[in-house]
């Protein structure tokens, strides 16, 4: 087997658990990953700030009505990327570059085909799906227009998500960050130009943010290809990598086996959110707009929380792949500590600055006050979700998926919506948001009990080659 080449330190940083204290390794990997996810959230936030400030609350409600539907469609590819990171992480830990390339090519090809299929179906069915969700009639036409552009954009989005996951599997968290800087800069400049019609085009209204995202993602992917080739990265799209751009079932199977639990988690969570949105919509378009604003702010807390869980999962996978089984427990401890320190701090800030942050999206004082009160409740659920995700992510890195998945899916499928429905009857709109921290607390308790009571007593093994 060949050893992985040393990428340029400024662009493709390789992190391994034997290069220094584990907390430092964790931070070196986590730093760019957190910045990437925060920038991803900021990119979506910029679109919504432009929409809310330049087009009004109705336009923001149109975008908010589509967000749960979009998350439902991208859920499986997020899971596929999670599985790819684990399988590639173990191959990278074992210094098997040929296998890393083959897995990456298989995953990216599958993602592009899946995006084309789902995008076509979503484009055709956008109207019926949004009506099924009970989208308020005053925002339905704009919501359908926005949804159709975003559905056509899914192949690019899927490949972008998977490319970032593949690179993280080989400990390159810097390249995804730099590519996101490219796309965010494009969105920052292009969205207001499309809204106002400043570049020779007629004003595109509600679809401006969607079209800006399409252009930005295409340019970012082109930049990644150029950047990796210039740095002679082992995953650069060159002649050596070109034959790998095909689906190899034997390589896709373990990725899917590990990725389906994460995909199901996001799909089930999206379905639960879609069900909760129907409850929110029953309170009127102001409540829908508040839901959208709170969801955007929550991304700034949830993405760092999930970044920590991803880091723990990948570093655990690399440790297992290289035979350093004793480091898995240490990775878990550091991940839990990071959740308490980083996600907990963000939750405190979100509570203290709720009104000011919500004001970035909405100018209506009544909606700002409503959304701020909801954020006070929702933000603490991110801490509980993050802690539980560290346990499930580390277990998944070893190939243990059944029980952690059953715990997560049971909570989302049979606990979250019933709690939201019950709390809505008791407390009104605020009760819908109370369901999230309550469900996540139950999940954390069960994941920790299985981790310490059962999983840690089992021997660790590499995944089958």
Q: Strands, DSSP E only, in 352-456?
A: none
From CA 95, how far away is CA 6, in angstroms rounded? Answer: 12
Q: Say if CB 170 and CB 88 are below 8 A apart.
A: yes
- Residues in the chain, overall count: 465
Low-confidence ranges of the chain (pLDDT < 70): 1-20, 41-69, 72, 133-135, 138-139, 198-201, 270, 361, 363-364, 462-465
Residue closest to 17 by CA, chosen among 394, 348, 312: 312
Provide the pLDDT for residue 384: 93
Domain residue spans in the chain? 22-457
Q: Say if CB 195 and CB 55 are below 8 A apart.
A: yes
Contacts of 152 (CB under 8 A, 6+ apart): 119, 123, 214
Provide the pLDDT for residue 12: 36
From CA 31, how far away is CA 171, in angstroms rounded? Answer: 12
Q: Strands, DSSP E only, in 94-151?
A: none
Provide the pLDDT for residue 17: 43
Provide the pLDDT for residue 464: 58
Question: In 3-state terms, the chain is what percent helix, strand and coil (to 5)?
Answer: 80, 0, 20
DSSP state at residue 455:
G
Q: 197's torsion region: left (phi>0), alpha (psi -120 to 50) or beta?
A: left
From CA 219, how far away is CA 182, in angstroms rounded? Answer: 8
Provide the pLDDT for residue 151: 81
From CA 17, how far away is CA 19, in angstroms rounded? Answer: 6
Cβ atoms within 10 Å, residue 14? 16
pTM (two decimals):
0.71
Contacts of 373 (CB under 8 A, 6+ apart): 354, 430
From CA 53, how far away is CA 49, in angstroms rounded? Answer: 6
Task: Report pLDDT digits (tens) over 9-31.
Answer: 333 333 444 456 777 788 888 88
Q: 248's torsion region: left (phi>0), alpha (psi -120 to 50) or beta?
A: beta
From CA 9, how far away is CA 346, in angstroms rounded? Answer: 29
Q: Strands, DSSP E only, in 255-405?
A: none
Provide the pLDDT for residue 263: 75
């Amino acid at each position: 087997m060949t050893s992985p080449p040393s990428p340029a330190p400024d662009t493709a940083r390789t992190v391994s658990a034997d290069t220094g204290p584990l907390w430092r390794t964790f931070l070196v990997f986590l730093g760019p990953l957190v910045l990437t996810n925060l920038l991803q959230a900021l990119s979506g936030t910029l679109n919504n700030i432009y929409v809310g400030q330049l087009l009004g609350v109705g336009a923001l409600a149109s975008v908010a009505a589509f967000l749960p539907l979009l998350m439902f469609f991208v859920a499986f590819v997020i899971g596929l990327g999670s599985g790819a990171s684990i399988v590639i992480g173990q191959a990278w830990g074992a210094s098997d570059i040929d296998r890393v390339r083959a897995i990456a090519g298989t995953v990216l090809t599958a993602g592009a085909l899946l995006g084309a299929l789902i995008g076509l179906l979503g484009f055709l069915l956008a109207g019926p799906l949004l009506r099924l969700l009970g989208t308020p009639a005053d925002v339905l036409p704009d919501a359908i227009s926005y949804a159709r552009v975003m559905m056509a954009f899914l192949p690019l989005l899927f490949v972008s998500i998977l490319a970032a996951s593949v690179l993280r599997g080989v400990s390159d968290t810097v390249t995804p960050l730099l590519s996101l800087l490219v796309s965010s800069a494009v969105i920052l400049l292009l969205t207001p130009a499309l809204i106002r019609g400043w570049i020779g085009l007629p004003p595109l209204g509600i679809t401006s943010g969607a079209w800006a995202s399409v252009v930005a993602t295409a340019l970012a992917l082109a930049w990644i290809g150029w950047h990796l080739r210039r740095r002679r990265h082992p995953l650069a799209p060159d002649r050596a990598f070109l034959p790998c751009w095909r689906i190899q079932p034997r390589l896709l199977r373990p990725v899917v086996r590990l990725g389906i639990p994460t995909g199901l988690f996001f799909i089930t969570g999206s379905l639960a959110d879609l069900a909760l949105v129907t409850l929110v919509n029953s309170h009127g378009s102001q409540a829908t707009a508040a839901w959208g604003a709170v969801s955007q702010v929550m991304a700034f807390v949830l993405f760092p929380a999930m970044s920590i869980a991803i880091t723990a999962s990948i570093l655990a996978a690399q440790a297992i792949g290289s035979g350093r089984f004793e480091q898995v427990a240490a990775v878990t401890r550091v991940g839990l500590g990071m959740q308490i320190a980083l996600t907990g701090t963000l939750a405190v800030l979100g509570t203290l600055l709720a009104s000011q942050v919500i004001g970035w999206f909405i100018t209506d004082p009544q909606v700002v006050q409503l959304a701020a009160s909801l954020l006070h409740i929702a933000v603490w659920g991110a801490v509980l979700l993050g802690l539980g995700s560290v346990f499930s992510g580390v277990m998944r890195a070893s190939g243990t998926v059944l029980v952690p998945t059953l715990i997560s899916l049971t909570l989302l499928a049979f606990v979250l919506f019933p709690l939201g429905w019950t709390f809505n009857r008791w407390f009104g709109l605020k009760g819908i948001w109370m369901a999230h921290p309550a469900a996540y607390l139950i999940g954390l308790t069960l994941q920790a009990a299985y981790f310490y009571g059962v999983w840690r007593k089992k021997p660790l093994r590499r995944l089958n080659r």
